[in-house]
Amino acid sequence: MRRFILIAVPYLWLVALFLVPFLIVVKISFSSAAISMPPYTPTFSLTQGWAGIENFFSQLSVDNFVFLTQDDLYWKAYLSSLQIAAISTVLTLIVAYPMAYGMARAPDEWRPTLLMLVILPFWTSFLIRVYSWMGIISDQGLLNQFLMWLGIIAEPLHIMNTSKAVYLGIVYTYLPFMILPIYAALEKMDDSLGEAAVDLGASRLSSFWLVTVPMSRPGVIAGCFLVFIPAIGEYVIPQLLGGSNTLMIGKVLWTEFFSNADWPLASSVAVVLLLILIIPIMLFQRNQQKNEEAGR
């Protein structure tokens, strides 16, 4: 019984804070927009008995999902979000892997300090950190002033309100999520394996590609999922750094909810986004399960 209670607590937590809200969003996605409060119809009520329940389900429709396939804005936003998230994940991996490798090869007494430096940005508000990049990369920001002072450029670089700024913001924001799992995988690796490869005739580079990289693959996969999944639905970074020219599904979702007050259409956008994310989430869980089984 105690084991059942221990397992039931997190499941009840997930049901209450994820499954129930998700079912509400799914229900709203099959509703129709209305000038009322709440701004959709029909609303579910048990006061009318079984006839009211039948009337409720008879008014649900898939018109919102059909509309998503007919309007180019939405599928372009999904594709743009997937592209930006994928490129940002690759860039984050390129930056994070050398840092994680250096941390794993650092002396033991330095590793806690290096870990603290990686986690240190989380002590500051996420919004403040994004706003700080606006002051750095704007046309009159610190970066352009410094480069012009050095004489490298003659006129300011236009980085704000471009996709480059979005990539920069995502890489900076989610970099710790990539570093930490890669570091955890590299830190557990036996250094004698690489030394054995060198003793058998492999070069340092070959030893790195044939031994170190495969051994760190679980951390790389976990880090990529931890960056890719939230980056698809990112809203704050594209809104503040990307401007109106950056099309991402998070911005479209916010516009439908708060500007257009079209909750049914916004809910259908959110449901489709979640269905897209289910694939990498399932792959991530499968990878985690394989790692746990291998650890046993």
Q: Which domains does the chain have, with CATH numbers?
A: 63-295 (1.10.3720.10)
The reported pLDDT for the residue numbered 107 is 87
The reported pLDDT for the residue numbered 51 is 67
The reported pLDDT for the residue numbered 19 is 87
The reported pLDDT for the residue numbered 91 is 96
How far is residue 251's CA from residue 234's CA, in Å, rounded to a whole number?
Answer: 8
The reported pLDDT for the residue numbered 52 is 66
The reported pLDDT for the residue numbered 228 is 93
Residues of the chain where predicted confidence (pLDDT) is lower than 70: 46-52, 291, 294-296
Contact between 121 and 176 under an 8 Å Cβ cutoff? The reply is yes
Q: Is the dihedral of CA 100, 106, 108, 110 positive or negative?
A: negative
Q: Please count the CA atoms within 13 angstroms of the CA of 47 that sit on its side-chain side.
A: 3
The reported pLDDT for the residue numbered 84 is 94
How far is residue 262's CA from residue 257's CA, in Å, rounded to a whole number?
Answer: 6
The reported pLDDT for the residue numbered 79 is 93
The reported pLDDT for the residue numbered 62 is 87
